[in-house]
Amino acid sequence: MIHRFDLKVYYEDTDMGGIVYYANYLKFIERARSTWVAELGIDQLVLQAKGVVFAVRDISAHYLVPARMGDSLHVISRVIATTAARWVLEQVVERDGVVLFTAEVTVVAVSNTGGARRLPAELRRILPL
């Protein structure tokens, strides 16, 4: 499964030199994942009311080329592994076909109190197990 999320870099995303602040790449890929989940028909507010939330368990990030204010970026997300309790994604931030940032992200489901949960059934039905 692959998802594409487009975004534009604004002043608020950058440091004083007009380069995207490193932590904002994590926000960009989080926004892409949240948008993807919503487009799959999963309402995270409904899940939260049922006591289930998503959490990043592990992330490996690589900063390759800086993005700058005004850039149009694309976050490409691809599922690379799933189990009943987690999904692992590769997320790539690109500008005009140039890879700027890559991350491998493991997402798990937890209860509102932080205990481990299985991924919601509606997500397990969609993701390749």
Q: DSSP characters for 61-84?
A: EEE-S--BTT-EEEEEEEEEEE-S
Contact 83, 122 (CB under 8 A): no
The CATH class of the 2-126 domain is: alpha beta
pLDDT score, position 129? 55
Judge whether 15 counts as a catalytic residue: yes
* Domain extents in the chain: 2-126
Question: Of 6, 13, 15, 58, which residue is the catalytic one?
Answer: 15
Tens of pLDDT, residue by residue over 69-118, are: 999 999 999 999 998 889 999 999 999 999 999 999 999 999 988 888 88
Q: Give the list of residues 6+ apart from residue 45 with CB closer than 8 angstroms, or none.
A: none
pTM: 0.92
Residue ranges of alpha helices (H) inside 11-105 are 22-39, 44-49
